[in-house]
A = this chain, B = another copy of it.
Amino acid sequence: MISSELDIPQAVLGGNRLALARLITQIENGTPEGYDALRRLFSHTGKAHLVGITGAPGTGKSSLVNQLAHFYRNPTPGMTPARVGIVAVDPSSPFSGGAILGDRVRMRDLAGDPGVFIRSMASRGSLGGLAAATSGVVQALDAAGFDVILIETVGAGQAEVEIARLAHTTLVVEAPGLGDDIQAIKAGILEIADILVINKADRPGVENTERALRNMLQLAHPLRRDFLSPADAVHHTDLVHKAIPSPGDEPNIWSPPVLRTVATEGIGIQELHSSIQNHRKHLSESGEWQRREQSRMETELSMIVQERLMRRWRDGLPAGRYQSVLEAVYMRQISPWQAADRLITGDEP
């Protein structure tokens, strides 16, 4: 039990897991207490390495995340174990409670380790709400001293792109045997990948998958303008047929490596971990770490402003006003645009 007088931010900074769990629930529910706590914790954030993991269902992302967490906890001799937070987000399940089951399966592996904290989140309402809540939960874990936060999302749509924007390092997970047109649609998601992982690499077709990914990378890479200096940002068709520079050629350009893993057997996990560490080093040395942090903070500020403006507007409407304007729209007497004008400026309908 946590007494209701407990100072939650203080307790979170002191390593109290129950306080952290309660704070995360407050953030998910969007309560004022949650936001107050995040406000007080903000100056303690900015230390954790945020690693996003995304990919289609069936690629074995959850096993990969579990194995990575294990490796961070039990690294090769001489390395310090990192404290690991895991946030599993399922934007494609606005209705079902599948995230909970995920938690239980993970718990069997990682339960009881005080250096690991796991939380699953399913979409409750709008996508914007989920992205904001995920960002808040990640900040809570960051303030609580977790060194690495693994943010797992399912799928390859706009939702995952939004959530990937939170991360410093984004892993895109594939598996052999996906159809050609599934590959084709991934062109967009490839462009946010810092590291490509072919999991289930003991399956037939792994060479085809790797070749397809490398071909697509070659097309996608020149569009990643955030990694190019302004002078390099020429029209991308000029670059399509050039080889991607290998890491080390140019300190400010990162070439996403393509790695093979078999997560269920622990194969390739050490190499993946090294690659993540390399990317972290690249981010710091190129100044990209700071740019991503700033871009993340700006996105977050924008989401908060949006939510505040909407709430303030709703609270400021006279009782019944919204409904009466809406009725006029229902009757097609006025358009939604005119209704918005009236509801914002306060003119009588």
Contact = CB atoms under 8 A, between A and B. Distances in A.
A304 B336 contact: yes
B181 A57 contact: yes
A58 B181 contact: yes
Contacts of A58: 179, 181-182
Contacts of A304: 336-337, 339-340
B301 A338 contact: no
Given A57-B185, A93-B188, A336 B301 contact: yes
Contacts of A181: 57-58
A181 to B, nearest CB: 5
Interface in A291-309: 293-294, 297-298, 300-301, 304-306, 308-309
A187 interface: yes
A206 interface: no
A30 interface: no
Interface stretch (A38-46, A70-78, A110-118, A258-266): A38-46
Interface in A37-70: 38-39, 42-43, 45-46, 56-58
A158 interface: yes
Given A158-B91, A158-B157, A309 B313 contact: yes
A191 interface: yes
A96 interface: yes
Interface stretch (A11-19, A245-253, A327-335): A327-335
Contact of A92 (B157, B293, B326, B344): B157
Given A42-B336, A94-B188, A306 B305 contact: no
Given A304-B337, A310-B306, A94 B344 contact: no
A98 B187 contact: yes
A157 B337 contact: no
A343 interface: yes
Interface in A113-145: 123, 127-128, 130
Given A92-B185, A223-B95, A344-B305, A337 B158 contact: no
Query: Which of A184, A304, A306, A335 is the most central at the interface, judged by chain B CB atoms within 10 Å of its CB?
Result: A335
A242 interface: no
Given A92-B157, A162-B127, A181-B57, A326 B310 contact: no
23 contacts: A35-B337, A38-B335, A42-B335, A57-B179, A58-B181, A91-B158, A92-B185, A92-B188, A92-B189, A95-B191, A96-B187, A98-B185, A127-B158, A130-B158, A157-B158, A293-B330, A297-B329, A297-B330, A301-B326, A305-B310, A305-B313, A306-B310, A309-B344
